[in-house]
Structure 1
Amino acid sequence: MKKSLFPNLKTSTKLLIGIGIFLYLIIVYRIVYVPKDFGRHYSKNFLYVYYEGNMIDGADPISFEVFRENLRYAKDKNNVYYRGEIQEKKDQKTFELLGCSRTKCYGKDTENVYFNNKLLEGFNSNDVFYIGDLYLGYEDNVYYKGELVEGADLNTFRYTLDGYRKDDYNKYYKGEKIR
């Protein structure tokens, strides 16, 4: 005769306990191991972070967050990530996106300024600001995709209703003077 683990409980109560334990294990498995999507490209569970289904080695799932401005950028307590790759030179504690236009972005940390993940030389990160449509203001100059827009006057540079940019002297389209 077999000895029961719970000798004083009815069979139906034992069955309910067994079903409850089984359901609990399924829920714990789903919480811990099944990745949850956040953003368009990243997902995570309690153990790992993934970019488009590929595990990111060393990423911390607890502190991991995706930037709302561009869903390809993310950071955790240790690193900044772009498309799931660690960005070595960026300070993860202070890195922020200044502004984006579709998939292209300006970003900065305490020391540097970046365009589309490339370091822009000669910029002080405290003095730059995003104008919009991939234009950046720094000192008295205007930049488009990180390149100087020759002759553009930052103080009068503005958006026009027809989709162009202009200052008091010229009109611009995608960083080029058109008149």
Structure 2
Amino acid sequence: MYHYRERVEHADLASFEVLIGSYAQDKSKVYYGGKTIEEADRNSFQAITAGWAKDGNHAYFDGQIVDGADPQSLTLDAKNPKYAKDSTKVFYQGKMIPGMDPLGFTCLDSSFCKNGNQVLFMNQVVSDVDAASFAVDSCADEFPKPPKQMLCSEPRKTHMPGA
């Protein structure tokens, strides 16, 4: 049997089902991209998005265990599901972001995220920005110059503070 052009070895064809993206399962195993996720607990496994999944013991991104993630408290950001957080850490595409406090962490759009102390643009810290007052706007042409603590979400019109 094949799933996304990947041969799935030893799957039970009668119970095999595609979950989301490359995640699939049968009556006893969980698969990603045609390969068995050996550590996955089939009974508690949940595919959340095409990339993120969790079970009672682990969180997964692209079928790999996310080191240090707590699956019980793991949530994805609603505006940018590449980001996830648990009770103590923030993750981007399955990798922990060092020093990023999950308290108050939220994405403002698909490019900008912040918590109470830091602002990220496409997973890079933006320096010299007050995270508490930071806002994002489309900065359409009717906005000739954004306020000092606002960045624009369109890259060709991005204004950095102090510019």
Q: 1:111 aligns with which of 69, 72, 88?
A: 88
| Structure 2 counterparts to residues 10-159 of structure 1, below 5 A | 33-67=14-48, 70-99=49-78, 101=80, 105-154=82-131, 155-159=133-137
Q: Distance in 2 between matches of 1:119 and 1:177?
A: 26
Equivalent position amino acid for 1:35 in 2:
F
SS at match of 1:81: strand
**How many Å separate the matches in 2 of 1:100 and 1:41?**
22
Change (3 A) 1:158 1:171: closer
What's the Cα RMSD here?
2.9
Aligned 8 A contact 2:59 2:71 in 1: yes
Amino acid in the other structure paired with 1:177: M
Contact 1:73–1:83 (CA under 8 A) maintained in structure 2? yes
The structure with the greater share of residues assigned to helix is 1
Q: Deviations over 1:105-146 (max 9, x none)?
A: 111111111122222222221231221113111225421133
CA distance in 2, matches of 1:76, 1:176: 42
Q: TM (normalized to structure 1)?
A: 0.67
Consecutive unaligned residues of structure 2, counting only runs of 5 or more, are 1-11
2:90/2:102 contact within 8 Å kept: yes
Query: Normalization by structure 2: what TM-score?
Result: 0.72
1:1-22 superposed Cα distances (whole Å, 9 cap, x missing partner): xxxxxxxxxxxxxxxxxxxxxx
Runs of 4+ residues deviating >6 angstroms: none
Relative CO higher for 1 or 2, CA cutoff 8 Å, sep ≥ 6? 2
> What is the alpha-carbon distance in structure 2 between the residues aligned to residue 118 and residue 176 of structure 1?
28
Evaluate the alpha carbon distance shift between residue 86 and residue 171 of structure 1 in structure 2; reply closer, same or farther with a 3 A threshold: closer
CA separation of 1:76/1:152 partners in 2, compared to 1, >3 Å: closer, same or farther?
same
* Structure 1 unaligned residues grouped into runs of 5+: 1-28
